Amino acid sequence: MTDVDARPTAAPARRHDGLLVILAVLLVAANMRAALSGIGPVLDRVQAATGMSATLAGVVTTLPVLSFAAVGGTSPALARRWSLEHAIGAAVLLLGVAEFGRVLDGTWALLVGTAAACAGIAVINVLLPVVIKQRFPHRLGSVTGLYTASLNLFSALAAATTAPLADRTDWRWALGCWGVLALLAAAVWQPVLARHPVAVPAGVEAGRVELAEGEPTTRPATTDGPDPRQGPDPTAAKPLVLWRHPIAWGVAVYFGMQSLLAYITMGWLPAIYRSAGVDSTTAGLLLALAIVIGVPVAYIVPTLAGRRPGQRAWAVGLTTCSAAGVAGLIVLPAQLAVVWAILIGLGQGCFPLALALFGFRTRDHRRTAALSAFGQSVGYLLAVVGPLGVGVLHDLTGGWTVPLLLALCAMGVQAAAGMVAGRPVRL
């Protein structure tokens, strides 16, 4: 196992190797939401075939967040044991196998397979930003943008094609085919990145990172890239415990609230449109539109936001787009359906920004690993109330107004957290 501290963390990858690494990262990222965004457009068929209620369907849409919260915090330990690259490779392989297994006959196969697939995604969620921080410290914003653009592009593709494919075959084939893409990503990832595996050093875990003697806990941020100031602060020799730091909580809550809306969107947006009289294929295309809009946004937002020390304006502005789209779904869901899908898509830029904040708010990959694990574990735990709450409230009220008001309240919390997370400070 290679100790990460034994080699310079700020050294950028060589050009040829760097391009191969980026290609592998993009292929892995392509699988991170396709397994989830395809469920929404065929959720009514899944319910009809399995007899699930809206509440139990809400459990299916909540499984991603539950798995991310439960498994995400264990990712640094897996990386210490196997290396970052090997842990991600194993997670992608698990994702592919689970995508095939969840479409076997029965509700339990769907639940267990979805949970296993989400466990694999949870590990990737936490560790892939660390790989990017470690290998591309001077291009953090742009590489994060490419990664999230790939994620959104294939998420949109799954949302747009799953329902038409289910029309030609059935929902099991339509969902199971995405396992092929995951197995392809695993086959490419291992030879490209496992040649030089990197371990997360001891002392890094969710919510805590051991600092060297005299190593500071915070510094003013500069721009995207490593902090040029290297002098130690003799007054700060204690471990950095993230749950005691307001910036870490700001990042975690911001990540959690944007995740809440993202999984409401992927799980329930087609159903909301269908209840307003939109046919299932068009509803899936509207979800795809919301995700496709996020593809260029996913690249632009981290790239531009990384050029300034603080990101408060980006955090609040993108949240406002989300809130406007959700409000529109309450008042005129079908009449201006495309407008609301576009606004929600623009608001999805909160996700790449939240991922980039793990790197923007930290000086090195040790802190990035700890903040990523802490932020995603806490954030996804907060986000659990979203898709599950929507299903329960829809069952109780018979409509979508109250569930969408819940989402609007979450947007207010998200904006407040963004004001804290966007401060120009590095942990």
pTM above 0.85, yes or no: no
Does 352 score more than 50 pLDDT? yes
pLDDT at 209 over 60: no
Count of other CB atoms within 10 angstroms of residue 10:
15
Average pLDDT of span 97-103: 90
Average pLDDT over every residue of 302-322: 91
Q: Average pLDDT for residues 276-304, to the nearest whole number?
A: 85
Kindly state the average pLDDT of the residues 239-267: 85
List, for residues 392-403, the tens digit of each pLDDT value: 888 888 889 999
Could you give the domains of the chain?
14-191+201-225+235-426 (1.20.1250.20)
Residue 210 pLDDT class (50, 70, 90 cuts):
low
